[in-house]
Amino acid sequence: MPWKYSDKVLKLFMAAVKGEAGTHMGELEDADGFGEHGSIVCGDTLRFTFRVERHPTDPTRDIITQARYLTFGCTSAIAASEALCTLLEEQHKTPLEALQVTNQDLIDFLDGLPEQKIHCSVMGAEALQKAVADWAVKRGVDLTKWLPDTTPADKDEDEGRVVCNCFSVTEPYLRRKIKELGLHSIAEITNALKAGGGCTVCHHAPGGLQDLLDETWGVMPNKDFEETPASAAAHAEAELSPFRLGQQIEALITELIRPQLRGEGNNIELVDIKEHKVYCRMTGSCSQREETARAVKLRVEHQIKEHVDDRLQVIVV
């Protein structure tokens, strides 16, 4: 197997499969909360139910007493489901507190998950959110009133535009999760949400994963970045005026590059900027030797590309 599971994952998985005492496989009848996440197309599905001890007057003070799951999925999906139920039961949480349980909590409980398996923990957290939303409806609790910051899974998410066809992942869901989980690259999206892990067509398609990332976080220049029509359009939009471009480069040199070079006995001076070419003068020891001069130039260019615009070139005069 190309990855290694933690001992905790294997232990929970085996205990669950053997049906040992204290494990949570099953489905509660007339559950107070019911949530499902995943689909068979994705290769994993979790059906999650919980029961509460009802508070006589205040439903927000209900306590989760029992949690159960049915899971179709790999070892880590089953272990993550087991982790979710154990965590909730052990900590006697109210459903509102349970909403604060994140996929990271599940990962920590499992002593880590392989990168490519992060989506198993996300599946657990999603099913939990849906179950709490179900509980809220049943108990007449207005979630938005109590926890205005959380955005429980929206029904429209299932009906939004499908971005990743292989795993039927929709745009509204992606937008929410990219922000919620702080996903900054396509690989991170695939590990956490599976999206983009199949045919890869949606990676750089218009309205695809890269576009969603760019819209969420702003355009991130990347040295391996391939210019696609969509990103070219994004570039055009983000085009700086020559004045602003000059300001940004000047600031970068003053604040970051020059202090670094000074430490090595060198200095740099901005001479001019024309059509994505940045003309610089180097002084100090680097200008004496060709190899060092070239290395310094490449490093400066890399920093300017990374922080300002990936089309910029540095020319030493």
Partner 1 sequence: MKHIYLDYNATSPVRPEVLEAMLPFYREQFGNPSSVHWAGRQVGGALEKAREQVAAFINASPAEIVFVSCGSEGDNMAIKGSLGALKEKGNHIITTTVEHPAVLETCQALEKEGFDVTYLPVDKDGQLNLDDMEKAITEKTVLISVMWANNETGNIYPIEEIGAIARKYNIRFHTDAVQAVGKVPVDVQKAKVDLLVISGHKLGAPKGVGAIYVRRGTRMTPLLHGGHQERNRRAGTQNMAGIVGLGLACEMAGAEQESYYHRVRALRDKLEDGVVALVPDIKLNGTPNRDQRLPNTLNVSFAYIEGESLLLNLDMYGIAASSGSACTSGSLEPSHVMGAMCVEVTLAHSSTRFSLGPETVPAEIDKVLEVLPATVQRLRDMSPLYNCGRTSDNCETCQTIKRI
Shortest distance, position 188 Cβ to partner 1, whole Å: 14
From the centroid of its chain, how far is CA 133? 23
50 binds partner 1, rule: CB under 8 A:
no
201 binds partner 1, rule: CB under 8 A:
no
Neighbouring-strand partners of residue 84: none
Specify the residue for token string 């300001």: 247
x/- letters, 54..93, toward partner 1 (CB under 8 A): ----------------xxxxxx-xx---------------
Binds partner 1 by CB under 8 A, chosen from 6, 65, 86, 116: 116
Shortest distance, position 206 Cβ to partner 1, whole Å: 22
Q: Which of 74, 85, 120, 280 is catalytic?
A: 120
Sequence-ordered list of residues with C-beta below 8 angstroms from that of 81, at least 6 positions apart, any chain: 16, 24, 46, 48, 69, 71, 124
Q: Which is closer to partner 1, CB of 1 or CB of 317?
A: 1
Stretch that binds partner 1, among 2-10, 150-158, 204-212, 292-300 (CB under 8 A): 2-10
Binds partner 1 by CB under 8 A, chosen from 43, 152, 160, 284: 43
Stretch that binds partner 1, among 11-19, 204-212, 238-246, 275-283 (CB under 8 A): 11-19
130 binds partner 1, rule: CB under 8 A:
no
| Catalytic status, residue 120 | yes
Binds partner 1 by CB under 8 A, chosen from 93, 130, 177, 194: 194
Q: Which is closer to partner 1, CB of 116 or CB of 292?
A: 116
Contacts (CB under 8 A) with partner 1, residues 232-291: none
167 binds partner 1, rule: CB under 8 A:
yes
Tokens of 257: 């590059």
Binds partner 1 by CB under 8 A, chosen from 21, 40, 236, 317: 40
Shortest distance, position 309 Cβ to partner 1, whole Å: 29
Shortest distance, position 14 Cβ to partner 1, whole Å: 6
What is the set of active-site residues? Answer: 42, 120
Binding site for partner 1 (CB under 8 A): 1-3, 10, 13-14, 16-19, 25, 27, 36, 40-41, 43-47, 70-75, 77-78, 116, 166-167, 190, 194, 197-198
